[in-house]
Structure 1
Amino acid sequence: MPEYTYKSSGTNSQGNHYCARDYGSSASNSNSYHYSNQNGSYYYSNPSGSTYYNNGAGSSTYTPPSGNSSQSGSGSKK
């Protein structure tokens, strides 16, 4: 795991949490972050340049640095 410096983190008035990190100039995405929501969904923007989103209802999307995303699951929140 690369070294990082915390930039900011917190929870907003709706109870949604976020955290931003700085991985430095050697990372593909130096300003990485993640957030998680009260509804169970969450999103990661990774230092490698990939992203991951989970809707909290059984469906997720992973996008590698190449940009060709893949989905899994088909759940919908009820």
Structure 2
Amino acid sequence: MPTDNQGNSYQHTGSGTNSQGNHWCSRDFGSSAPNSNSYHYSNSNGSYYYSNPSGSTYHNNGQGGSTYTPSSGNSGKK
């Protein structure tokens, strides 16, 4: 079974490209993570979005701005 960069095992559950040319990928981390289903989008405009197994999210707008929201719900802009 593959692992992420923190060593958490996951099962790849799907990937593809939608009609706007945006790539997506989904993973199932099972009961070992607060948010067992995580996914990411890589958009054709250079932006991307991650929903992480910890429950946090990260969005980069492709123009130098990004927003990280930790699993606790507190957000921070960079």
Asked if Structure 1 and Structure 2 have the same fold, meaning a TM-score greater than 0.5 normalized by the shorter chain, the answer is: yes
- Quote the residue 2:26 is aligned against: 20
Tell me, in whole angstroms, the C-alpha distance in 2 between the residues paired with 1:45 and 1:13: 21
Percent of paired sites with the same residue? 74
Tell me, in whole angstroms, the C-alpha distance in 2 between the residues paired with 1:12 and 1:68: 31
- 1:11 maps to 2:25: no
Tell me by how many angstroms 1:15 deviates: 1.2
Tell me, in whole angstroms, the C-alpha distance in 2 between the residues paired with 1:61 and 1:52: 6
What is the number of residues matched between the two proteins? 72
- Quote the residue 1:76 is aligned against: none
Structure 2 regions of 5+ residues with no counterpart? 1-6
Tell me by how many angstroms 1:12 deviates: 1.4
Q: TM-score by structure 2 length?
A: 0.89
Secondary structure, in 3 states, of the residue corresponding to 1:52?
Answer: strand
- Quote the residue 1:32 is aligned against: 38
Which structure 1 residue ranges, 4+ long, deviate > 6 Å from structure 2? none
- Quote the residue 1:75 is aligned against: none
- Note the aligned Cα RMSD (angstroms): 0.7
Tell me, in whole angstroms, the C-alpha distance in 2 between the residues paired with 1:13 and 1:49: 28
Tell me, in whole angstroms, the C-alpha distance in 1 between the residues paired with 2:20 and 2:75: 29
Q: TM-score by structure 1 length?
A: 0.89
Tell me, in whole angstroms, the C-alpha distance in 1 between the residues paired with 2:57 and 2:38: 10
Secondary structure, in 3 states, of the residue corresponding to 2:33?
Answer: coil
